[in-house]
Amino acid sequence: MRVRLNRLLRDVFNDPGLYITDELSTSTYAGWNSLAQVNLIMALEEEFGIQFTTEEVTALNSVAAIREALRMRI
């Protein structure tokens, strides 16, 4: 899961050299803006074959939160 998520994040943010840690978030990475968030959610749902609720989407503002949500789903 980690490898797939890291690749997806680099693709969505169009940053092949992005260093990804659990601390990466909307407040620590300028490229993670509202448009990138929408693209990220859509890419996550497609990549992992899941659908997030509105409540989950609003909470997915860091790599740690995304990993936890994925762990609970897959």
Q: Please report, for the chain, the start and end positions of each structural domain, with discontinuous segments joined by +.
A: 2-73
Class of domain 2-73: mainly alpha
Structure tokens given for 69 = 């949500």
Q: At what angle do helices 34-48 and 63-73 cross, to 10 degrees?
A: 30
Helices and strands: H and E segment counts in the chain: 4, 0
pLDDT at 4: 97
pLDDT at 74: 84
Residue pair 63/24 in contact (Cβ under 8 Å)? The answer is yes
Tens digits of residue pLDDT in 35-72: 999 999 999 999 999 999 999 999 999 999 999 999 99
SS3 25: strand
